[in-house]
Amino acid sequence: MTIEELNTCIETGAIDELIRVAEARQCKALAHIADSITARGGVRLVLLAGGSSAGKTTTAKRLCTQIRVNGLEAFHLSTDDYFVGNSRNPRDENGDFDYETIECVDMPRLAADISALLEGKTIHARRFDFVAHEGFDEKTESSLPPGGVVVLEGLHALNPRLCAAIDDAVKFRLFIEPATQPEVFATVRLSSDDARLLRRLVRDRQYRKVPTEETFKMWPKVLAGEKKWILPFRMLADMEFDSSLCYELAVLKPYVAGQLELFCRRHPEHVRAQALGELLSTVLPTDSTKVPGDSILRETIGGSQLEY
């Protein structure tokens, strides 16, 4: 889809149907993945990895639902909830916190919780406070019925080190990326990296109280970390999921356009920010109330009917 076609849908009122079709396409793709998991037989651990703001958490939760449709119970875990926190987090060569390395995940604790769930035991799963940068145990106990599936999502989910003690025969690996982006100019499309950056700018400001300057400062480190810690294991994936939505720029614009405009005034030399601002200036906005409650976009803009 081109930006011009998206704008036409907004102007003519066809955006509602476009949203319904885009969301239904993703739901159908997730159902196909769940069918593949069920058909294989013996899968107990689904490993879902992808870059920052690819939509991993919502996808994992929706995949759990599709697995339940097929008659199996599913339990969602996130590697983010097992971050060691700033008191133990590694630092890079400049002395800054390195949030991209796998060493920022409490791997022994995560592996112990997964093994306990697969063995039918109860656990107090971890949660992470991204404002305080510290983790804590849930008060309630969690368990998984016999034959149930753990769906683990996170940046490092495909890294073999993460669940090395668990038999590969029970694993199903999935990679997620917003791959199909709108055409900006003839034969030129928005990159998936820039699409994720727009999502992250909104998410960081909405939920993590991170200034725009900090998000832009961290982004090169994020991409470098993905190149080192995520992309080398993409080839291990059994399937891939496209988390892009052809209408999302129109929804994100009211959330991020002003944010970018202020940043660009303060940093006119920032080429990426200027380009993203110019791109959004060509997109007509649309009302976010049209976005379904379980959409991947709700993970970014808020208002999800899913629990995070």
Identify the helix (H) or strand (E) that includes residue 258: helix 248-266
Contact 155, 49 (CB under 8 A): yes
| Alpha-carbon span 225 to 55, nearest angstrom | 18
Angle between helices 15-40 and 56-69 (to 10 degrees): 60
Q: Closest Cα partner for 201 from 152, 263, 250, 155?
A: 263
Q: Which fold has domain 3-301?
A: Rossmann fold (3.40.50)
* pLDDT value of residue 185: 66
Q: Which residues of 240-251 are buried (b: 16+ CB within 10 A; e: fewer)?
A: bbbbbbbbbbbb
| Alpha-carbon span 103 to 89, nearest angstrom | 8
Q: Closest Cα partner for 170 from 56, 61, 42?
A: 42
- Contacts of 18 by beta carbon, 8 Å cutoff, 6+ apart: 6, 9, 246, 247
pTM over 0.85: yes
| Alpha-carbon span 55 to 245, nearest angstrom | 11
CB 73: neighbour CB atoms within 10 A?
14
Map out the domains of the chain as residue ranges: 3-301
Q: What is the mean pLDDT of each run of 10 residues along the chain (308 residues)?
A: 93 97 97 97 97 96 97 96 92 87 94 95 93 90 94 96 93 96 74 95 88 94 94 96 96 95 94 93 94 96 90
* pLDDT value of residue 94: 85
